[in-house]
Amino acid sequence: MKAISIATRIFLTLALVASQVAFSAASQAAVNPEEILRKADRARGGVSDGLSWGIQMQNSGSSTLIKYEVKVKGNNVLARCQEPARQKGEVFLFNDRNLWVFRPGLKKPVSLSPRQRLTGQAANGDIATTNYARDYTPKLEGEEDVDGQPTYRLFLQAKESNVTYDKIRYWITKKDFLGVKAEFLTLEGAVFKTAQFSYKNSIPVNGKEMPFVSEMKIQDATKKDDTTTIEYAKPKAEKVSDSEFNVNNLVR
Amino acid sequence: MKKALLLICLLSAPARAELDLHQYFLLEGESRTLVSSPLNPNNTIGLFPDQMARVESRSDLRANAGNFSLLLHPRARGERDRINQLSSSQASLFLQEGYLQWSILENLDLKVGRVQFGWGPAESITPTNWFAPLIQLEPSPRYEQLGIYRAQASWSVGQGFNWIVAQEIGAPRDSWNSKFDTVADTYRERLLTKAEWNWDRSNKIIGVVAGGLQETGGFGLRGGAYGSWNLNDAWQLYADTVFQKRKLESQWLALATAGFRYTFENGAEIRAEGIFNERGYSHGKQKAALELLAANPSLITRAYLLAARENLSGQEYGYLAFRWTNPGFFPSFFQTPSVSFRALHSFTDDSQVVLAYLEGGFLDRFNASLYGGLFNGRDRTELHLLSDNLLGFSLSYSL
C-alpha cells in the first residue's frame, strides 16, 4: 500500500510538472512577438499615409523649450522649428537616419551624419514614427509588471545596421499593446539610456479612437539627472505626400 | 508682364492667408589688416574697409494662401566703414530673397522672383550650380548670399527624384558697391536644368546638370554631375564636377571638387576637399598675369580684385573644415554652441586662409559669434586679402 502510494505520488507529481510545462509552451506559442510589436507601433506613429503633430522638447537643467511642427511618414520626418525665437525658421529633414538642416540665409541645405543629434538625449529617430516591427526581430523574454500593468517584455535585435538603436528591450502592455518602457542597449548589451512613454493622446483609426503617444522621457543610464522629455501634441493622421521629404523641396 | 502675372496670382488666391514672420536684428563689427600689394597699393584700388560696424534689420515673411506662397526677406542695413583712415556711412534697403510660389500640383512648383537655391554635397564650392557656385569664405557666419532673379519650376516624384528647370530673368538693381560685392552677381542669362535621384534611404545621391550662361564672347555651355555616398554613419564620399565651354573656346574645361566627410562618435566632423579649376592659372601664368597688371595699374579695378577672389584664379586648391556642435566644454548657459574652422590652401601660389568661429545662443533670443581669420602667402596674391588678421563679432536678437 505504501509502495503504491509512493509510486502514485511520484506519477502524479511528474504528471503535474509535465502539464505545467505543456501549458506554458502552449501559452508561449499563442503569443506572437511580431504581432505584439506591430500593434505597439500603431500607438507611436505606425500609420501608413502620414501624420502631423507638434513636438516640444526640453533637456534637464535647461529652461528652453524647443518646439517643432512635424510631418512624418514612415521613417521620414520634416520638422520646422517654431521656438525658441533664435531658431525659428530652421527646417530639419530626416530621410530615415540621414539629416538635412536648412536655416534661412544658408546657401543650401546641409547634410549631417546620423551621429549628430538634434538635441540632448533624444536621437533623431525619437521624433520620427516608430516602426520596430519592420526594423527589429523580436523575441519574447518574459512577462512582468510595469507600474502595476502586466506587460510583455520583448528583446529587439536590429535587422540591419542602419537603424537608430542596435538592441532594445521593450515592455508592451498586455491589455492595450502600448509600449510603456524601453531600454536601449549598446552592441555589447549594456544599457546606455532608458525611456518611458505615456499615451494621453488619441487618433481615429478606422472610425475608432486609438491611444497615441503623448510623452517620451529619455534618461541617460549612467547620469540619471540627464534627461530629455519629448511631448507630442495634436497628432493628426493625414495624407502626406512623399515629395514633402525631398530635400530639393525643403523650402516651400 | 511680370507685374500682371503677379497681380493675377494674388487676385486668384483665396482671401484667407496664413502669415509667418520671423524678425531679428543683427549687430556686426570687423577689423582687419590690409596689406599693401602691387595690385592694391595702399588699398587705393580695392578700397576695402579695415574697420566695419553694421546694424541690420532682417525680416523673414511667408504668406500662404491656398496654392500660393509669397516669401519676402527684406533687409535694412546701416553701415559705418573706415577706409584708408577715412570714415564713411551708408544705409541701404534691399531684398535678399523675394518670390511668389505657385504649387500647381502636389509635386509641381513654380517660383518667380529673387530666389536663392543651392545644392551639392561639397562645402567649399558647387561647380554644378553656376547661379551661385561661390566658395563660402565670407568671414561672417551671418553672411547671406543674395538671390538671383529667376523663374524656376520644380517637379518631384516621391522622395527619390526631383527635376528643376531655372532661367535667370533679370538683372539685380542693387548698388553693387554696398551689397553686390562681386562681379559674378550681374545678369548672365543663366539657364539650368537639374535632375537628382536619391535611393537607399538617401545614402546615395546623384544629380546631372546642363545649361549655360552668358560669358565673354557669347553663351557658354555647361554640363556636369554631382553625387554623394554614405558608406556608414561616419564616412561620406562626394564629388561635384562641371565641364564648361565658352563660345570662343574649342575645348571643354573642368571645374571639379571631390572630398569626404568623417563624423566622430561625439558628433564632431571634419571635411577635406580638393578643387581643380582647369580654366585657372597655373603658377607660372598667374605670376606673369599679375606682373603685367601690376605694371599697368589702370588695368586693375576693384571689380577685378573681387572677381579674382571669387573665381578661383589658381588651378588646384585644398579645403579643410572642422565643426563641432554642442561640445561639452562650453558653459551651460550657451545654447547650441559650436566651434568651427575652415582653411583653403592654394597649391598654385602656396597661400592659405584660415577662418575660425565660435558661436552660441543664449536666453532663447540671442545668437552670438566671434570669428577670426588669418592669411598666409606671398603679397602678390589677392585671393584672400579680406581675411588677413581679421577679427569680428556678430550679435543677433530675435523678436
pLDDT 10s digits, B67-112: 999 999 999 999 999 999 999 999 988 888 999 999 999 899 999 9
Least confident of A26-30, B102-106, B305-309, B357-361: A26-30
Looking at residue B16, its pLDDT comes to 59
Question: Quick check: B247 pLDDT over 80?
Answer: yes
Q: Which of A3-7, A110-114, B71-75 is predicted most confidently?
A: B71-75
Q: What is the pTM of this model?
A: 0.86
ipTM for the predicted complex: 0.85
Least confident of A58-72, A162-176, B2-16, B179-193: B2-16
Strand locations in chain A (E)? 51-59, 66-73, 76-83, 91-95, 98-102, 110-112, 136-146, 149-158, 167-173, 179-185, 191-198, 201-205, 208-212, 215-220, 227-237
pLDDT 10s digits, A174-190: 999 999 999 999 888 88
Residue A161 distance to chain B (closest CA, Å)? 9
Question: Quick check: B326 pLDDT over 60?
Answer: yes
Looking at residue B177, its pLDDT comes to 42
Contact: B236, A248; criterion CB under 8 Å? no
Given the DSSP bridges, would you call strands A136-146 and A110-112 parallel, antiparallel or unpaired? Answer: unpaired
Question: Quick check: B205 pLDDT over 80?
Answer: yes
Looking at residue B348, its pLDDT comes to 85
Q: Which chain A residues have a beta carbon less than 8 Å from that of B154? A: 248-249
Question: Quick check: B393 pLDDT over 90?
Answer: yes
Question: Quick check: A17 pLDDT over 60?
Answer: no
Looking at residue B308, its pLDDT comes to 65
Nearest to B156 among A64, A85, A248 (CB): A248
pLDDT confidence tier of residue A12, bands split at 50, 70 and 90: low
DSSP string, A5-73: HHHHHHHHHHHHHHHHHHHHHHHHHH--HHHHHHHHHHTTT--SS-EEEEEEEEETT----EEEEEEEE
Average pLDDT over residues A218-241: 86
Contact A173, A151 (CB under 8 A): yes
CA distance B390 to B342: 14
Contact: B119, A61; criterion CB under 8 Å? no
Nearest to A116 among B60, B267, B332 (CB): B267
pLDDT confidence tier of residue A35, bands split at 50, 70 and 90: very high
pLDDT confidence tier of residue A1, bands split at 50, 70 and 90: very low
Question: Within 13 Å and on the Cβ side, how many CA atoms surround B81?
Answer: 13
Only one residue has cell 582653411, namely B343
Question: Quick check: B14 pLDDT over 50?
Answer: no
Q: Which of A74-83, A168-177, A226-235, B13-22 is predicted most confidently?
A: A168-177
Instruction: Give the number of other Cβ atoms within 10 Å of residue B31's Cβ.
Output: 15
Question: Quick check: A235 pLDDT over 60?
Answer: yes
Question: Quick check: B324 pLDDT over 90?
Answer: yes
Looking at residue B296, its pLDDT comes to 77
Q: Which of A63-67, A84-88, A100-104, B328-332 is predicted most confidently?
A: A84-88
Average pLDDT over residues A148-168: 87
Instruction: Give the number of other Cβ atoms within 10 Å of residue A56's Cβ.
Output: 16
Contact: A98, B264; criterion CB under 8 Å? no
pLDDT confidence tier of residue B175, bands split at 50, 70 and 90: low
Looking at residue B176, its pLDDT comes to 44
Question: Quick check: A21 pLDDT over 60?
Answer: no
Q: What is the rounded average pLDDT for all residues in chain B? A: 85
Question: Which triple of cell numbers denotes residue B294?
Answer: 601690376
Looking at this protein, which amino acid is placed at residue A225? D
Contact: B118, A162; criterion CB under 8 Å? no
Looking at residue A251, its pLDDT comes to 67
Q: Which chain B residues have a beta carbon less than 8 Å from that of A104? A: 22, 60, 73
User: What are the Cα distances from residue A55, in Å, to A58, A209, B21?
Assistant: 10, 21, 20
Q: Which of A154-168, A197-211, B191-205 is predicted most confidently?
A: B191-205
Contact: A84, B361; criterion CB under 8 Å? yes
User: What are the Cα distances from residue A224, in Å, to A50, A60, A100, A185, B267?
Assistant: 34, 10, 31, 16, 22
Looking at residue B262, its pLDDT comes to 96
Only one residue has cell 599679375, namely B290
Residue that wins the pLDDT comparison between B119 and B303: B119
pLDDT confidence tier of residue A252, bands split at 50, 70 and 90: low
Interface of B with A in 240-299 (CB under 8 A): 261, 263-267, 269
Nearest CA in chain B to A86: B365
pLDDT 10s digits, B349-369: 888 889 999 999 999 999 999
Looking at residue B329, its pLDDT comes to 85
Question: Quick check: A2 pLDDT over 70?
Answer: no
Share of chain A above pLDDT 70, in %: 81
**Triad B333, B339, B344: Cα angle to 5°:** 165
Looking at this protein, which amino acid is placed at residue A52? S
Question: Quick check: B10 pLDDT over 60?
Answer: no
Residue A37 distance to chain B (closest CA, Å)? 23
pLDDT confidence tier of residue B165, bands split at 50, 70 and 90: very high
Residue B367 distance to chain A (closest CA, Å)? 7
DSSP B43: G
Looking at residue B368, its pLDDT comes to 95
Judged by a CB distance cut-off of 8 A, whether residue B140 touches chain A is no
Looking at residue B179, its pLDDT comes to 44
